[in-house]
A = this chain, B = another copy of it.
């Protein structure tokens, strides 16, 4: 039910934001660089009989547009800001795939796997440039110059935070001394910063007050923390059915996800030794994941995710926002933090 409602909310913004992105790409030269970018964004043309390519959910675009509406602005005017946020998110995914050596993205070959590392790095850089060009063009939609520049600044500050988080994440891999606080400091940057900026940029473009923008930004930040913890839960225990992710993915990657940090703290030595040796088989990963559930790692993470969600929704209580969009932000947040795939 909640999933259905959330799906409708996401659908409401997808077309307008994808059109905005397509327009930004239209001006590009007829060179393969733009094919790579369209492919990564799931906007490549498919022939008859070919299934539509997988696109992202455009979650951050919806957050941006809803935040604009929540302060009384129009979603349409926020579309370029929403497109810019999605382009930044997409560029970080493209580069993360190279950095992590992930060969697939949304069921298809990652850009680096298909075109090579050199082209993938360049395509990501181009996406980042395009994001800034789209944001700089906000003035053409009637957004005042000062607000347009503020959006550029907010988005690039978030992009820098994502880089900081990514560097921390890479440096945590395999380390024995990462604490939950270290983890949260990393997620704050790698995931929460851009969700916060999506809401902040929407509020700014919609002409919201400083207080409303701050509240929406805080909502986005808390949502981002809860969202990432849900991602970690799925990365450990997978989805509920054949649709879901395989169990124990993050064990095999030796990531320092929240479930793993909890379990290391709870059972210490033995798990640490297993991780240090490297978990390679699906069987071993499934056994460890089951044991972690028994000792309460999953319940711990679920509780923490829900508490971030609650704090995020709470942040929206104390400012004056449009009721409809505020409710939609809550539905979306709740779906994202409770999702099962």
Contact = CB atoms under 8 A, between A and B. Distances in A.
B149 A119 contact: no
B157 A133 contact: yes
A95 B129 CA distance: 14
A149 B139 contact: yes
B168 A125 contact: no
B100 A118 contact: yes
B164 A152 contact: no
Given A33-B164, A133-B156, A145-B145, A99 B126 contact: no
A160 B130 contact: yes
Contacts of A128: 125, 128, 159
A122 B153 contact: no
A167 interface: yes
25 contacts: A33-B163, A92-B125, A95-B121, A98-B117, A99-B121, A119-B170, A121-B121, A122-B167, A122-B170, A125-B128, A125-B159, A125-B163, A126-B160, A126-B164, A129-B157, A129-B160, A129-B163, A130-B160, A132-B152, A132-B153, A133-B160, A136-B149, A145-B145, A149-B149, A152-B152
A210 interface: no
A29 B152 contact: no
A66 B153 CA distance: 26
Nearest to A186: B31
A146 interface: yes
A90 interface: no
A166 interface: yes
A240 interface: no
6 closest A-B pairs by beta carbon, nearest first, are A99-B118, A126-B163, A129-B160, A132-B156, A33-B167, A136-B153
Nearest to A139: B149
A319 B1 CA distance: 67
Contacts of A119: 167, 170
Contact of A99 (B117, B137, B153, B166): B117
Given A119-B167, A125-B163, A132-B153, 17 more contacts: A32-B167, A33-B163, A33-B164, A92-B125, A95-B122, A98-B118, A99-B118, A117-B117, A121-B124, A124-B125, A125-B128, A126-B164, A129-B160, A132-B152, A139-B149, A149-B152, A152-B152
